[in-house]
Amino acid sequence: MDSRRKFLEQGSLGLVSLLALPALALPAEASSFEGLIVNDLDGEAVRMRSGTSVVRIKIAKSQGATSLCFLSESISPGDVLPVHKHSNEDELIFIHKGNGLFTLGEQVTPVTEGAVMLVPKGTWHGLQNTGSVNIEMRFAFTPAGFEGFFREVGTPVGQPFVPKTMEQRRAIAKKWGMIYKA
């Protein structure tokens, strides 16, 4: 009986320490972050590429979310996200509406509504809207911070659109640890 009681006491202490460990490992500023609720049309909106694509920054590092950022993008028929890779972030992509062709590594695969793609850092990827309606894409980067790229390369909605040349986009991308393939 004593050995069973000792086992339960030691096991309980081990369980308590496992549950407490993540809280102890968090930096003080991260533990004060209480989360966010963001509705569909909320978020900082910027126009991209030809001005027809709109990216909304829904959850950003500047709001206290250090582990990830979350964005949405509306991609017009015929528009292309050029093949690129991120040096510092993993990316998770969800196709909410529409369809197209997704490049992941050397594979090009048709994607439709509901498709989810996980892109580890350092992996080439891109998307082409081959459909007749906008692709509505939701995507996240971990860790947070890469949303700054969109602020720098895009034009805030409500301001006159200022297109960037591919050379300008490459220079901005390099600052954010992103490389275009072609």
Split at pLDDT 50, 70, 90, the class of 107 is very high
Rounded distance, CA 166 to CA 116, Å?
A: 28
- At residue 92, the pLDDT reads 98
Assign 11 a pLDDT band (cuts: 50, 70, 90).
very low
E strands, the chain, in order? 44-48, 53-59, 69-75, 80-86, 90-97, 100-104, 107-111, 116-119, 125-129, 135-142, 155-156, 178-180
Band the pLDDT of 24: cuts 50, 70, 90: very low
Q: Break the chain down into helix, strand, coil percent, rounded to 5.
A: 25, 35, 35
pLDDT band at 99 (very low <50, low <70, confident <90, very high): very high
The answer on pLDDT for 162 being more than 60 is yes
Instruction: At 68, list the tokens.
Output: 């990830």
CB 48 within 8 A of CB 153: yes
* pLDDT over threshold 50, residue 27: no
pLDDT tens-digit map of 54-98: 999 999 999 999 999 999 999 999 999 999 999 999 999 999 999
Rounded CA-CA distance 104/115 in Å is 13
Radius of gyration for the chain, computed over Cα atoms and rounded to the nearest angstrom: 21
Q: Flag whether pLDDT at 19 surpasses 50.
A: no
| CATH classification number, 44-180, choose in 3.30.160.270, 2.60.120.10, 2.40.37.10, 1.50.10.10 | 2.60.120.10
Residue 113: half-sphere exposure toward Cβ, Cα within 13 Å: 7
